[in-house]
Structure 1
Amino acid sequence: MAESTRYALLESDGRYFDGLSSRPREVILGFRERSLIIRTMRDEVLTHWPLASLRAVSARHDRPVQIVPNLESDERLVVSDETMIEAITTVCPDLYHRPVDHRGMRRAIVWGLGAVGAVLAMVFVLIPALAGQLALMIPPERERALGDALVGQLTQILDLGGSTSRFCIEAEGREALDRMAARLGGGARLPYPLRLDVLDHGMINAVALPGGRILVFRGLIDSAATPEEVAGVLAHEIGHAIHRDPTVVTLRAAGTAGLLGLLIGDIFGASAIAAASDAALNASYQREAEARADEVALQLLAEAGLPSRPFAQFFERLEAQHGSTPLALRYFASHPELAERAGRAAAADTIGDGAFTPALSDRDWIALKGICSTRG
């Protein structure tokens, strides 16, 4: 008799990440003889995970526990119920047989900074409220270092702790992306160089990080029908970078410890790497920030002689194909009022009905589509 039969009647709540979106879905967990069953709150079966291949990507004593169906999957399950955690650990003896993140050091640093909590408590509310002004006080070199640290943390999150590199580095594809960015020209307005990377991940997303770093996901490139669609998304993220919105979001997520860490150069302590990495993937900017980024994007497209209509068409097509639920499209989840903004982009009509030079040549577009053929 399988060990899991002891827990045949056991159920608990959990949070399920489907690998396409960073937004969780509330689910019900239960056992069958050889699998963990994940169901919706309406009791509809979402998926079966074989017990033999389950692995934890969090340390043994960390709570909640993060579990993946196997080490190659982008799916993730977060379990908080102690009884369910004990049951899964019992029926899956190999659950923790893999490298885990070294989170103890990060927790120790957090506790160390907690010793000065009495002083910092005075500004816990003030700093998030003034994040926009405070972002301008951070030296550019430290802002860049924060962006670099977040890239490392985000790749670990998206790889679920694995060691496989996710950067796409095919040479002609890289050159094509750089040419697109150069044509948009937004980097000239930044206090640091604009740096672009492509991650080999299926999420339909692009993320602006502190210090002028922008991550474009393979899923976004794969989903785009024309280079002008990618250019529109890239121009929008450049708009966020120009206004230093990623740093503002990071400061709000990190709080006082994050600001003090950035000001004194403690990039890897309680200066918010844990909180900021989550904020980067879930960057729900305020309405004014989105409007500013859109304004910059439309200006960059106009200056580059590129149409704004493909920017709107990209999201209209994806919404028609996938729906507008948070689990359908990562970009929809973090960019609210998308239909309204797409309408503005279409109405902007940056070049009218005139002819234009494509954002990329056919050869460059093919190269960009194949940028993940080489990873490093």
Structure 2
Amino acid sequence: MTALTKYDRIEATGLWRPDAQAQRREVIVSIGDATLMISDSKDQAITHWSLAAVARVNPDEYPAIFHPDGDTSETLELPENETVMIAAIEKLRRAVNRTRPRPGRLRFLGVGLSIAAVLALGVFWLPGAMQDNTLRVVPQVKRKSLGTALLDRLQRVSGPRCSDAVGSAALTRLGLRLGVSRLAVLPNLTQPALHLPGGLIVINRSVIEDYEEPDVAAGYILAEVSRRATLDPLRPLLSVAGPWENFRLLTTGDLAPETLDAYAEHLLSHPAAPPKDQPLLELFGTAQLRSTPYAMARDITGETVLELVEGDPMQGKNTEPLLTDGDWLRLQSICGG
């Protein structure tokens, strides 16, 4: 302790007693290496007190009475005229106290860290865990109703769902051919296709009307099937809705209408990234469907869809038509065009 060097030659005369029953005796007090040394008149050391464990009984009173911390029976009295020694002891005691750990501060820090951990748990872990649990327990019937509710909201922007009877029958046959049971066509969707909770895939009329063959529309449908296989359609809805609405769905089975409105707007304004090529090619192969027409519809230059063109599973093979010519013409008229 650097503060000790200033006082290492200070001495004072005081009265010391080893316990409450003993007589006080005159002693010489000096400061040593982190200790208060008490010696007799022959300079024989009687005892040493650690400066870190010296306490004062009567602050600001005289004679100043000190004792080892925890033992009030052993005392040392220093008269008022020994001001230099008294001041030195007090200063060294303060210096030692500053270096001691503060249990209160440590306790406060511990409480603060605990609160921070709980908050972090609530902010970072709990929403994800609750979302995972919701995805596990929400039944298919509720997923279908959510998909239908979102379709209703998409129609407010895109226009009413195309519902020509013979065209709808052709659409159903296309869905059966691709293994997709729920399909809808909207007249002015901002994207070629979307998939919604409950197995519902929505396509824009342009992917039907703007091409000469149904392979393009079928390709966009399979692309949504591929995306759906990668990510549960309910998860992005819950992510946009937030933890409170997630909790609401988990406990009541419903979402607020404004939450569905916001997610429908999100779907229309945030195009999904293209599905990964290899899993999509596998779907084309399973369906025995050419991937090239879909790829060229996405990019007429072929630059960004080269793997879909070169990896076409039906390349060089004869394929069965997806629809009869009559069904294809009926499907192209589903929106009354």
Please state which band the TM-score falls in when normalised by the shorter chain: 0.5 to 0.7
2:308 is aligned to 345
Matched, 1:217 2:196: no
Q: Given the superposition, is the C-alpha separation of residues 123 and 158 from structure 1 closer, same or farther in structure 2, using an over 3 Å criterion?
A: farther
Q: Aligned pairs, how many?
A: 219
- Given candidates 308, 323, 326, the residue that maps to 1:360 is 323
Shift of 1:253: 0.6
- Given candidates 188, 195, 201, the residue that maps to 1:201 is 188
Alignment of 1:90-109 (within 5 A): none
The SS at the match of 2:242 is helix
**In the aligned structure 2, how far is the partner of 1:216 from the partner of 1:269?**
26
1:146 is aligned to 146
Contact 1:206 1:217 in 2 (8 A): yes
**In the aligned structure 2, how far is the partner of 1:368 from the partner of 1:127?**
47
Contact 1:149 1:267 in 2 (8 A): no
Give a deviation string over 1:14-50, Cα, whole Å, max 9, x none: xxxxxxxxxxxxxxxxxxxxxxxxxxxxxxxxxxxxx
1:301 is aligned to 284
2:335 is aligned to 372
Q: Given the superposition, is the C-alpha separation of residues 156 and 125 from structure 1 closer, same or farther in structure 2, using an over 3 Å criterion?
A: farther
1:247 is aligned to 234
The SS at the match of 1:211 is coil
- Given candidates 300, 314, 328, the residue that maps to 2:297 is 314
**In the aligned structure 1, how far is the partner of 2:162 from the partner of 2:229?**
25
2:110 is aligned to none
Q: Given the superposition, is the C-alpha separation of residues 147 and 369 from structure 1 closer, same or farther in structure 2, using an over 3 Å criterion?
A: same
Contact 1:301 1:308 in 2 (8 A): yes
Shift of 1:125: 4.2
**In the aligned structure 1, how far is the partner of 2:176 from the partner of 2:333?**
20
Alignment of 1:257-336 (within 5 A): 257-269=244-256, 272-285=259-272, 290-291=275-276, 294-317=277-300
**In the aligned structure 2, how far is the partner of 1:149 from the partner of 1:271?**
11
Shift of 1:266: 4.2
Q: Given the superposition, is the C-alpha separation of residues 218 and 285 from structure 1 closer, same or farther in structure 2, using an over 3 Å criterion?
A: closer
TM-score normalised over the length of structure 1: 0.51
Shift of 1:271: 7.9
**In the aligned structure 2, how far is the partner of 1:351 from the partner of 1:274?**
41
**In the aligned structure 2, how far is the partner of 1:339 from the partner of 1:140?**
39
What residue identity is the alignment partner of 2:170?
A
1:176 is aligned to 170
Contact 1:309 1:349 in 2 (8 A): yes
1:90 is aligned to none
**In the aligned structure 2, how far is the partner of 1:133 from the partner of 1:347?**
41
Contact 1:257 1:272 in 2 (8 A): no
Contact 1:127 1:252 in 2 (8 A): no
2:4 is aligned to none
Contact 2:238 2:246 in 1 (8 A): yes
The SS at the match of 2:289 is coil
Q: Given the superposition, is the C-alpha separation of residues 297 and 286 from structure 1 closer, same or farther in structure 2, using an over 3 Å criterion?
A: closer
Consecutive unaligned residues in structure 2, runs of 5 or more? 1-117
- The farther-off stretch of 207-216 and 176-185 is 176-185
**In the aligned structure 1, how far is the partner of 2:176 from the partner of 2:262?**
32
Contact 1:257 1:270 in 2 (8 A): no
**In the aligned structure 2, how far is the partner of 1:252 from the partner of 1:176?**
35
Contact 2:201 2:224 in 1 (8 A): yes
Shift of 1:267: 2.4
Shift of 1:232: 0.6
Shift of 1:127: 6.2
Alignment of 1:38-49 (within 5 A): none
Contact 1:258 1:270 in 2 (8 A): no
Shift of 1:128: 6.3
**In the aligned structure 2, how far is the partner of 1:246 from the partner of 1:120?**
29
Q: Given the superposition, is the C-alpha separation of residues 242 and 228 from structure 1 closer, same or farther in structure 2, using an over 3 Å criterion?
A: same
Q: Given the superposition, is the C-alpha separation of residues 343 and 169 from structure 1 closer, same or farther in structure 2, using an over 3 Å criterion?
A: same
The SS at the match of 1:299 is helix
Give a deviation string over 1:102-135, Cα, whole Å, max 9, x none: xxxxxxxxxxxxxxxxx99964544665656753
Identity of aligned residues (%): 28
**Bigger-Rg structure (1/2):** 2
The SS at the match of 2:319 is coil
